[in-house]
Structure 1
């Protein structure tokens, strides 16, 4: 009869959210809760070449992790995960029944031999072994069959289908499960590890279980509340409930819910995870998730932009993230070189002899409206808004470098300046490349505007609404403009430096973190 196991990987995969810093007592309580819930396999973290920290679920030796295991193990298997080149196998103590029982070993398609050799050595030390090849979706059918043949020679406890990039559809699951089940030795358990990029993990896990593979033990990975690197994993509480209702299991859901309430929800309040369009797009193209994160961090790309950028990644670059290559794509995408001499000459004439006030969309536009109005009345400056049209002030020009902001313009009460990366009609089009590159953390419309003003001979400028980023995250006068990319003191310091570097004398009319740095 088929044996179905449920494996919890909260303390391992979930650790990507909080740098594995759960806290010693929390770790012990989570392990205890999962054990009392009757979870079949509890993964307690990574085996890594690291200094021991009792508050983190990265372990240098098996001896270290024994302190968080319950006295009553209740027939639960405890596991750890190792990447062969991140852990020295010689440090692994022989299995003695008091530590972890199972070691899940991951490896890429380019280091299969090294990964399987690590498995063999761990197996010789008495541990059950699971082979977890990274990104099974990146293998051809022939590649899967060859890998299964090598795994059969090793004959481990388990082999896992790992959808690393969350790109698996139903037809992919059907194909890969058929290939593996028909060729893997029947006494090797078959596992499934899914991610939530396309919000399909629960559906795919149900389909996997409903195949009722004859004579084959199966394991499904999940985590409390789906905790894992955005967008997250399959939720173990949902999977346990499904198994209770349909497969006669008796997992204690209350223990899981208590662990979520006490330990996981406080983490998610600080570092949320869940479905997100950029990670759907990374799954759509079966890419390393870091490409989506890298392009998100630029702060000036719409989801549509990210879609187009991810679609251009070459097949040989998909599996391993290459930051330099990603930056080349980004630069090329932004590279809309034009001859803007005529536009610059016209603007230079209009700016000659004028005081300039640059408006950014910070919350101080509302909180310090009276001060800004007083400055405008006294100085009568030429007003230029950066990447928005202000609601409470009349701008002489609006300067746009972001396509996603430009596309939302409902009306144009003033002439519009736009950089050449933007598709759409503007009154003045300026070469993007000549203005970009002045900011180390990506492109920024305010810095680019100051750069332009300096190029056009302006030597002094006033700033309002250039607030910078505070800890509460409420930084915009119009909350619809909120940028969800996390930013803080590092970004503020880089902006302060970039503003000063443009060569203008800058006066802040409203309070700014950029002025404080």
Structure 2
């Protein structure tokens, strides 16, 4: 068991969840609990070029880190991590024995700069751990080049870092084999896993089975897996596994107490753990924020998200580029069709007719008897916005959201007509009319188009003199925004959207008269 050690990275990697703002007393308590549990290495935080805050685990120097480290080390040793381009190594003091290990990270595109930083850390007397970011993104040739340079550097340890959580058992075996064959036999191997595929505990066990007995190893883990979403290997699980199978003697009670007292309160407001968007990012071995960004749009199907992720080139995968992601999204949404025939037919149907537009706000059900009576009395045409309405099967359904269309198409009855915008995947199979998304979307300075606004704009293009809105309730953060059974609840909706959408509706009033049949926050915004 002396060849296998655990490193807790909660205060460093877990800081991505709460901005490293654990609180001074909590930091001290967590370190004390981890030490009492017998944790071999405790990573106290990041070395960063930031103003020092005693409540955070970001430090400019070892001297600042000493403020939270106990005078009595007991069994544990302490570590800090530095991303080479976010910390000035000149600030790092000579090793005085307080912090034993410095771990340094870098990308494959700035390998030489990162290794130069590593060399300077080693010169200051620290046990150096080389932690290359996203080892899955290295080609075999790049890995062999890295191994050669690392051997010349002679660090204490080298970590296999599965940054994007895309590693499987077969890939772990391949990379471990390359490391074992090409790195110095005295070098300690580290393993840092993520939960994108919900495999971290399984892969940790696989690593322990395949590792060469003589190879000293350090496994990274954190309290309850706390770490940048979706999280890390849970230290309580791997401690228990090592106790039962490798004659370890970790006192897990201290760890469980720390989780109960300090971690679970954070998790109630800032969750982590396996989520589908991070499975997708792992599938394509790219930065987690891409899948998160596209899923956050709220209108893309899984097939569309996968299509966009496949379009991201290798040079863009490691670091999230929001401008690139938005351009890719807009290009996808604005794909064009020939919609002149659809517009001409719809003008013949809607032109000059009173039209009622139905949105799925709760007021639609509450006021439906009166709304229905009004529709029948005025012989108005009806169009629903991103849903089919069970209470009114006639008329038209308008979809600008691919996800909503996929959810509702199974409920479609052949009693109405479907109008889709060109961004909706599969619209050609069911839609009677397809209109170019770009023709109806909000102006280019707005990133996200609202279905209701797009539908009103379509009515203005069709020559409808006045539209009557029902169920256009607007958003509230204090209650459910949609009628029961509606598929499309959007966590991204904010009350501020009421003002934005209201302004967009008012901008259309010169072209079409807008009236409300049910209460709406848009009238007040």
Question: Superposed, which structure 2 residues align to 1:64-463 within 5 Å?
Answer: 64-98=64-98, 100-367=99-366, 369=368, 372=371, 376=375, 381-393=380-392, 396-407=395-406, 408-409=408-409, 410-412=411-413, 413-422=415-424, 423=426, 424-438=429-443, 440-458=446-464, 460-463=466-469
- Give SS of 1:70's match: coil
Tell me by how many angstroms 1:52 deviates. Answer: 2.0
- Give SS of 1:228's match: coil
CA distance in structure 2 between the aligned counterparts of 1:264 and 1:211, rounded to whole angstroms:
32
CA distance in structure 1 between the aligned counterparts of 2:342 and 2:419, rounded to whole angstroms:
9
CA contact (8 A) 1:187 1:216 kept: yes
Tell me by how many angstroms 1:75 deviates. Answer: 2.7
- Give SS of 2:268's match: helix
TM-score, normalised by the number of residues in structure 1: 0.92
CA contact (8 A) 1:79 1:104 kept: yes
Q: Which runs of 5+ in 2 are unaligned?
A: none
CA contact (8 A) 1:222 1:235 kept: yes
Is the deviation greater in 456-465 or in 316-325?
Answer: 456-465
Kindly provide the CA deviation profile for residues 434-457 of structure 1, in whole angstroms up to 9, marking residues without a partner as x: 123447232332222122122223
Is the deviation greater in 55-64 or in 276-285?
Answer: 55-64
Aligned pairs, how many?
516
Tell me by how many angstroms 1:474 deviates. Answer: 3.0
Tell me by how many angstroms 1:72 deviates. Answer: 2.9
CA contact (8 A) 2:79 2:100 kept: yes
Tell me by how many angstroms 1:56 deviates. Answer: 2.4
CA contact (8 A) 1:441 1:494 kept: no
Is the deviation greater in 228-237 or in 197-206?
Answer: 228-237
CA gap of 1:394–1:157, structure 2 versus 1, over 3 A, is same
CA distance in structure 1 between the aligned counterparts of 2:105 and 2:332, rounded to whole angstroms:
35
Is the deviation greater in 324-333 or in 443-452?
Answer: 324-333
Q: Which runs of 5+ in 1 are unaligned?
A: none
Kindly provide the CA deviation profile for residues 96-129 of structure 1, in whole angstroms up to 9, marking residues without a partner as x: 233x332211100011111111112222222222
CA gap of 1:373–1:425, structure 2 versus 1, over 3 A, is closer
- Give SS of 1:105's match: strand
CA contact (8 A) 2:5 2:40 kept: yes
CA contact (8 A) 1:288 1:319 kept: yes
Is the deviation greater in 67-76 or in 286-295?
Answer: 67-76
Is the deviation greater in 477-486 or in 8-17?
Answer: 477-486
TM-score, normalised by the number of residues in structure 2: 0.91
CA gap of 1:462–1:42, structure 2 versus 1, over 3 A, is farther
Is the deviation greater in 426-435 or in 332-341?
Answer: 332-341
CA gap of 1:502–1:44, structure 2 versus 1, over 3 A, is farther
CA distance in structure 1 between the aligned counterparts of 2:194 and 2:513, rounded to whole angstroms:
50
Kindly provide the CA deviation profile for residues 449-473 of structure 1, in whole angstroms up to 9, marking residues without a partner as x: 1221222234643433333443357
CA contact (8 A) 2:165 2:282 kept: yes
CA distance in structure 2 between the aligned counterparts of 1:102 and 1:494, rounded to whole angstroms:
51
CA gap of 1:214–1:429, structure 2 versus 1, over 3 A, is same
Q: CA-atom RMSD, angstroms? A: 2.5
Tell me by how many angstroms 1:218 deviates. Answer: 0.4
CA gap of 1:322–1:411, structure 2 versus 1, over 3 A, is same
- Give SS of 1:68's match: coil
CA contact (8 A) 1:237 1:253 kept: yes
